[in-house]
Structure 1
């Protein structure tokens, strides 16, 4: 079967040119297969480039047990996919694309160049040199009589490759291409509805909080349900956002309350003892600053959520309830939960209902915190699906 432009049909089709799709195309082309990579946007890797805008956190250097635990509860076979291509493999892969790396004090790994663009450029050059045919503005529209149907600038196109890998992302950051429109081609029984992951929290602030918009909250512990996070977050006009908050999304998504420990390194007894020191003519604000080190942003939160302030402030300092209006909209989330159910694919990530088609990346129903886990896991699933597809394509 030939394409509309007269070229032979490819051995393999990859739909989506984000990290998972790029890794799938890389793996398949390295095996000598002809690959057509279809991307709905005018250029590839848009969300990947956005992830690297403030520094591409490629992975996190930590032991396999900690790496695996960061992904929460997953079927063992899927967790094995994520550990088979973990931090060490991700670093080796990036170095193979000419990227010099460094590891920060928290174990997070970045390219020395910090941005994603040098890595993406090198990656695309390698794929082009192997003959990967990248088609832009090709939007996958599902299956038609067993073939993959696309809407393209030249009109409808049908392709029947030996194997296909779908890696079209989740449903956040629609303007970058992850719009989740592909769900219409699937049976609802194969899907879990999308929900925000790694998302900010909506808070309806009173007017006095405006002066603190943009202020970081440092040295706090955040609690939601049975989840605890130590990390920085930021007060914004829309609410709270930042890496310290994002790991709590699974609990907040189910309606859990957010509790803030403003002095996590002090016991309740120590907080009580410090607050009981004579303050003389000092204002309460100065007393909180001198005894507990509470900066203006933390004090503002106390006033926002605990006024009128009681005589005994220690319980609130250690467990301040944050009234919120739920997670920010899904399109603002860094990633999404939901997608193709893991029981709708086999342990190679091939769709049970569509033999010869695999799914990778954020299309699948899993989630992970930020900090390098998301990108590396997308690479891992793209590689795993491509290895299985490669075996099928070469055995026919």
Structure 2
């Protein structure tokens, strides 16, 4: 016998759980269906290094980090901005703190207590969950799922799809929903890696630097600029500073590295012009510019032989061209660009081709850097879609 609910939310990440929350608060019966054996897997993974919930900064500064999708997401994020995210988390019992860069974290520096409290609150609202159920599309108006017990069918007045992008497939975001929606005539943008490291074919002299952080740097690619840090890894460069500019790199923009962003080019030239004596160039760079071994190694890697003239060397130090082999594979990305396009959706994030079906989270065609922006966007779009779905359910039926 088919199960009946007012609303089915497919995908139990932050966007899906937030949509379920809003639907249940509006008085509707809701079930959350997840393909993996447990919920919130990507959220829990993000929390292993400290769950960065949001970035505590003014709205205009916050929304600018959503790039080309900023005007689309602006009303959604405005209704669930950085302060609202913090209020929500505190309402679930999380004590928060804000770091020097404005990043907001739970004091326990992990996601599991917040997720447990959220699931308990959803349970109190009557939200049910099904795990190990993989969505395979529709049979007419009914939703079809593959389960260990065979095919299961759920009819629903509304559906919220929050199936993630196409990165970290082992955590549930495998993009397998894309052909299903494409068959329905839904316009999709191709998936591309976002928040991902760079591949670099290092020379042998870089081996001692593997694992070393690059601190006190700035990165520039196209119109994107970042003062975040990076880490030299065996396969290339990774870290928040790289993630913030990878969208421009993906588009073909050259990448340059400023090894001394707090000094002007003239000041670097002046310091390099000091007498060197018998000191090696590396020691001279360390002494007059306070460059650490990792930054000196980067300079040697990408600019050998170094020019003898201070002004020429200063220009390289201020804008070092980084030679790389592109971005790492999409399944190694933290998130993806691409997915359901803005034009395929109405203002409430409902599919124009499937009335009553809403989309939220990373399956939408937007991207944002890590550092709180990505999670804030997922929560905001999930809330928006959930509210729109609740309004759709509350509309009186059209006259025949």
TM class by smaller structure: over 0.9
Give matches, 1:1-396, under 5 Å.
Answer: 2-3=1-2, 8-74=3-69, 76-187=71-182, 190-312=187-309, 313-396=313-396
Q: CA deviation at 1:75?
A: 6.4
C-alpha contact 1:77 1:347 (8 A) present in aligned 2: no
Cα distance between partner residues in 1 of 2:233 and 2:63? 32
Secondary structure of the structure 2 residue equivalent to 1:160:
strand
Secondary structure of the structure 2 residue equivalent to 1:353:
coil
Q: CA deviation at 1:78?
A: 3.0
> Mind listing any 5+ residue stretches in structure 1 that lack a counterpart?
none
C-alpha contact 1:229 1:247 (8 A) present in aligned 2: yes
Secondary structure of the structure 2 residue equivalent to 1:51:
helix
C-alpha contact 1:78 1:347 (8 A) present in aligned 2: no
Cα distance between partner residues in 1 of 2:142 and 2:71? 32
Cα distance between partner residues in 2 of 1:265 and 1:152? 57
Q: For this pair of structures, how many residues does the alignment match?
A: 391
Secondary structure of the structure 1 residue equivalent to 2:354:
coil
Cα distance between partner residues in 1 of 2:74 and 2:83? 16
Q: CA deviation at 1:189?
A: 5.4
C-alpha contact 2:133 2:145 (8 A) present in aligned 1: yes
C-alpha contact 2:36 2:132 (8 A) present in aligned 1: yes
C-alpha contact 1:206 1:304 (8 A) present in aligned 2: yes
Q: CA deviation at 1:123?
A: 0.8
> Mind listing any 5+ residue stretches in structure 2 that lack a counterpart?
none
C-alpha contact 1:67 1:83 (8 A) present in aligned 2: no
C-alpha contact 2:64 2:70 (8 A) present in aligned 1: no
More moved, 273-282 vs 194-203: 273-282
Secondary structure of the structure 1 residue equivalent to 2:27:
coil
More moved, 72-81 vs 341-350: 72-81
More moved, 309-318 vs 336-345: 309-318
Q: CA deviation at 1:77?
A: 4.5
Q: CA deviation at 1:70?
A: 1.3
Cα distance between partner residues in 2 of 1:267 and 1:290? 17
Q: CA deviation at 1:73?
A: 2.3
Cα distance between partner residues in 2 of 1:189 and 1:166? 13
Cα distance between partner residues in 1 of 2:283 and 2:69? 48
Cα distance between partner residues in 2 of 1:41 and 1:189? 25
Q: CA deviation at 1:394?
A: 2.6
More moved, 247-256 vs 43-52: 247-256
